[in-house]
Amino acid sequence: MTLIDWFVLSVCMTKMDFYVNHVSSYCKNYYCFFFFFICRPESFLECDPPLDLKGNKTEQEVKGYGCSKFGGWRFEDVEHTAVTCRVLEGIECCGSRSFLRHGKPCVKYSGHHFTTTLIYSLLLGFLGLDRFCLGLTGTAVGKLLTLGGFGVWWVVDIVLLVTGSLTPEDGSNWNTNV
């Protein structure tokens, strides 16, 4: 900002009648131009979750937003979409109070923690506890009845878990908060 910008800003920020009467329209435009970010930080917004299109790519193309698939382990595998955001009450801002915000990842979290599941797999994996926690009930019962496939299934599940091949049944991503 130049010295003139700082002067105009200080004039615009004052509430004196003389300045407000003479430069009010200029101040409003100037204020909106330089402080437009007031409406955009996440802490001032309430955003809807990404729209689940349940695999319908055609609807995604027609609407221009929404998630046809959720999840992915690499950044390139994760779809990104636009979500509707609204500015919270009591926040002054320029422009529309409701708008589409682009670049939100199509990721769901459902409370599955990788670290917890790995500990369960190491300590009680031979009883199928790790698979029960992931929602894989059918295979968990089989693992429980065979005591982890006599140890083989137990070791295989630890390897699958560490390599990222054993994931939650509902397709959600691992929760990043430990």
Highest-scoring range by mean pLDDT, 4-18, 102-116, 149-163 = 149-163
In angstroms, the CA 76 to CA 105 distance is 11
The predicted structure's pLDDT at residue 127: 94
pLDDT at residue number 169: 87
- pLDDT at site 146: 94
pLDDT at 13 over 50: no
Alpha-carbon distance of 97 to 40, in angstroms, equals 10
Is the pLDDT at 120 greater than 70, yes or no?
Answer: yes
38 vs 61: which has the higher pLDDT:
61
Q: How far is CA 24 from CA 15, 57, 97, 176, in A?
A: 10, 48, 22, 48
Among positive and negative, which fits the CA dihedral 97, 13, 10, 27? positive
What is the overall mean pLDDT for the chain?
Answer: 78
- Binning pLDDT at 50, 70 and 90, where does residue 89 land? confident
Higher per-residue confidence, 18 vs 117? 117
Residue 119 token pair: 């500990």
pLDDT over threshold 70, residue 23: no
Q: What phi, psi does 134 have (nearest 5°)?
A: -85, -5
Backbone Cα Rg of the chain = 26
